[in-house]
Structure 1
């Protein structure tokens, strides 16, 4: 049995604002695992720490998502340098994708990326996400695509990621997976939940080998305005407290 090395608590060491971001980000990692959207250690969620430095928090490379804690998260700068040399290393591919978005999107406080089976399957389909479900309409009103270029390790891919994403909050990475952004961790998580569910429905619907009934374009255009009504203007914060209560029942300890 391989025991994890104890990680000193950062509570009281970092600012209260950073600590709250750490707690919410650790919760998001554990929720990803709880819903079965993790891919061992190979995907990422990041959150930008307010300030001119554009530092952000990301997962320690090698740690499973269901064991990540607030104190284990790694603060890095825009060059990928750890601010605390005693922290774990980070996934270089994760750094490339997330630093590219955090560098130019002040509104994208959180960036979430997954490799779910359904997400990768839809990303490999030529037509991408189809308007087959109510869930699909929210991403379709705000969706970008980025073509596959190999493992995201090259610096020059950042500019193309930035250009392809533009001002959208949903992105399908062709042959790779899903990505959402949000002004908060709660918003990015809710976006991923909806995009993932839309992909699950699409794969199930297409497997039935029957003609599809797509939702008319005119309805797709109205969804952006309706989103705020659905969440009472609270966005992801409407569901987030309940998600934390669920996590407290199933996998507590993320606040350590």
Structure 2
């Protein structure tokens, strides 16, 4: 692909966001959470214009670079030049959340086997692991209404999400809402791991021991303590170093 670099052509703040979002796409690929080209991560650009960065539709996540990311408006219309299209239908969920949540700097959605598997279980996330307590402290559910391409689903999606940062889309997958790209990624790491652990525990066939509810109630302070109040920003530099060792081309 011959995609001209936008470094120097956009503000320093936008370039940093582009690098972080491209890194997030690469990390999702690295950890094996992709569904070919069919999920999205969006990030809100600085300023009050309600503009967002999203992936060029058709690229694998391990191909995405900072300069290849496309600017779209609230309706998913393309605002920047690109040889690639934008999947406007795929932006429906993201646009609803960005519209409803001013704190949604990044929205990350996956269709992993573990995530979809647990989303199909009537009881959803069970309090059976340390990771699950982090999720349960800020978890919401949204029932499946078919492929999310209709605008009339948005009000129900927004109402179900509320102020939660973890959203389980029933029979569909996982979604996290982060103040930053780093926050959204760390939350998805915890969400995905929670689902993998649950399926592994259930496969053993034994009765499961559940975490007491008062532990879940106090988990917010535990999260702040574990990350020194930095949230995803605590682990993000280490993740970027890991990614740079594998392939630093996401920065181009």
* TM-score computed with the length of structure 1 as normaliser: 0.96
Match status 1:161 vs 2:157: yes
CA distance in 2, matches of 1:160, 1:32: 28
Cα deviation digits, residues 191-220 of structure 1 (max 9, x gap) = 000010000000000000000000011111
Q: Which residue of 2 aligns with 1:135?
A: 131
Given candidates 116, 120, 132, the residue that maps to 2:116 is 120
**Partner in structure 2 of residue 211 of structure 1:** 207
Equivalent position of 1:248 in the other structure: 244
1:101 maps to which residue?
A: 97
Give the 5 Å matches for 1:189-200.
189-200=185-196
- Comparing 55-64 and 217-226, the one that deviates more: 217-226
CA offsets, 1:22-80, max 9 Å, x none? Answer: 00000000000000001110111010012121100011100000010000001000121
Take 2:228 and 2:80, find their aligned partners in 1: how far apart are those partners?
Answer: 40
Aligned with 2:48 (options 28, 31, 52)? 52
Q: What stretches of structure 1 of length at least 5 have no aligned partner? A: none
The answer as to whether partners of 2:22 and 2:66 remain within 8 angstroms in 1 is: yes
Match of 1:184 among 180, 183, 189: 180
Q: Does 1:10 align with 2:9?
A: no
Whether the 8 Å contact between 1:30 and 1:68 is mirrored in structure 2 is yes
Q: Deviations over 1:152-183 (max 9, x none)?
A: 10011111111110011000000000000111
- In structure 2, the partner of 1:221 is 217
Residue 238 of structure 1 pairs with residue 213 of structure 2: no
> How many Å apart are 1:87 and its aligned residue?
4.6
**Runs ≥4 residues deviating over 6 A:** none
Q: CA RMSD in A?
A: 0.9
Q: Which whole-Å CA distance do the structure 1 matches of 2:172 and 2:32 have between them?
A: 17
- Secondary structure of the corresponding residue to residue 251 of structure 2: coil
Pairwise CA distance, 1:10: 1.1
Structure 2 unaligned blocks of 5 or more: none
Structure 2: how far apart are the matches of 1:164 and 1:87?
Answer: 36
Take 1:38 and 1:95, find their aligned partners in 2: how far apart are those partners? 16
Taking structure 2 as the reference length, what is the TM-score of the superposition? Answer: 0.98
